[in-house]
Copies of this chain bind each other. A is one copy, B any other.
């Protein structure tokens, strides 16, 4: 009798770009795959700012993990949260249960970083999850509603002031979209305010926005934002956020901005799994808490544990670690999937190399900047490239269709159909109470 060995079990934690691409690449491999995520869907994060600004619906940029992986008969999806790892026993500890692995891939990503000012989180939310996006959407559209009802000039201006902290791609995209809302889609909707008087401030600590891009592209992005109505302030550090006042330092000067809507796009820190790995395996972390990985994306002394995506610090290429962007995560996921299969056959693979096809950031409905390395593009052509790249990488075909249609529609109508104020606070009562409004007859 021939002994039947149970297949090699690959456990993947996290269904973002890294984890999902690893799982997909293992779909026909002679292994058993378990993908664990605490959400039941993959989120196309590059378009999350469009949910936050009312252009797209959550479902447009989300794909149920089970649906994406349904054809992979060797793969199961588990809606669970990983709380710990036992690298000796080769198992992960779940909130409800445990699970054994032969190979473990950790791809749990990053969350917001407030650099020691975690109490700013409630006042200045960041944008990482669907819930973040819906709460930012509520904040933005409630601000216009509150301004419409406010008769005090100064308070009204504070409702119409939007501060975005951080001039990276997310900050640039948010600022551009809010400017388009104020100057475009909402222009005719109010009777007591002029939404084009809204002030949108983009604050960046360094001397130019989009720091990872070539300086010419940064300059072009700033010019485009200014034209859209965004006030770009570089060399500007936020020193305090309090009571709807942002205190900033420019050189030696401190000043205050009165704003009711403050959004955080300034930094990320590693998810909790980084710390778990450090404790359980002596993996080394960088200052942001990311795990420093080997040239094959495994961690030292643990060739069966891989870290990929935003959680990984890959220092073996170029003079800086690879950036935390979707293409890096995808390629890392695919590399590890290949490596596992090679090892099972007794083969070796060369170390991981990231192939850089370029970077892109969108500024408004017509403008973007694209850096292909050998070529820099900005303006409408760059925007078209951005559109097609994003449609192309959307996971599901029906999402592609819906998003294309929605974009086409928004493009020609400047519409924002998804600007619903939902959730418990849809009346914004608590924010309006801040004004200490007495019962007054509303002027009509």
Contact = CB atoms under 8 A, between A and B. Distances in A.
Given A9-B444, A40-B145, A131-B422, 6 more contacts: A58-B422, A64-B419, A78-B442, A79-B428, A96-B429, A399-B417
A398 B402 CA distance: 11
A190 interface: yes
B189 A66 contact: yes
A253 interface: no
Contact of A60 (B57, B186, B415, B432): B57
Interface stretch (A262-270, A297-305, A358-366, A433-441): A433-441
A401 B396 contact: no
A397 B40 CA distance: 31
Contacts of A186: 66
A289 B157 CA distance: 43
B97 A441 contact: yes
A191 interface: yes
Interface residues of A, number: 76
Number of copies: 2
A78 B149 CA distance: 8
A153 interface: no
Interface stretch (A22-30, A31-39, A116-124, A237-245): A31-39
Interface string A122-134: 0000000011000
A371 interface: no
Interface in A181-202: 186, 188-192
B60 A437 contact: no
B191 A76 contact: yes
A63 B54 CA distance: 12
Nearest to A146: B79
A426 interface: yes
A95 B59 contact: no
B149 A59 contact: no
A420 interface: yes
A97 B40 contact: no
Contact of A409 (B57, B98, B398): B398
A113 to B, nearest CB: 22
Contact of A421 (B40, B417, B442): B40
Contacts of A94: 439, 442
Contacts of A401: 405, 409
A353 interface: no
9 contacts: A38-B426, A40-B420, A41-B420, A57-B57, A71-B188, A91-B441, A96-B439, A98-B442, A130-B422
Contacts of A418: 57, 59
B98 A427 contact: no
A427 B32 contact: no
A32 B80 CA distance: 55
B427 A398 contact: no
Contacts of A223: none
A220 B70 CA distance: 35
A396 B415 CA distance: 11
A416 to B, nearest CB: 8
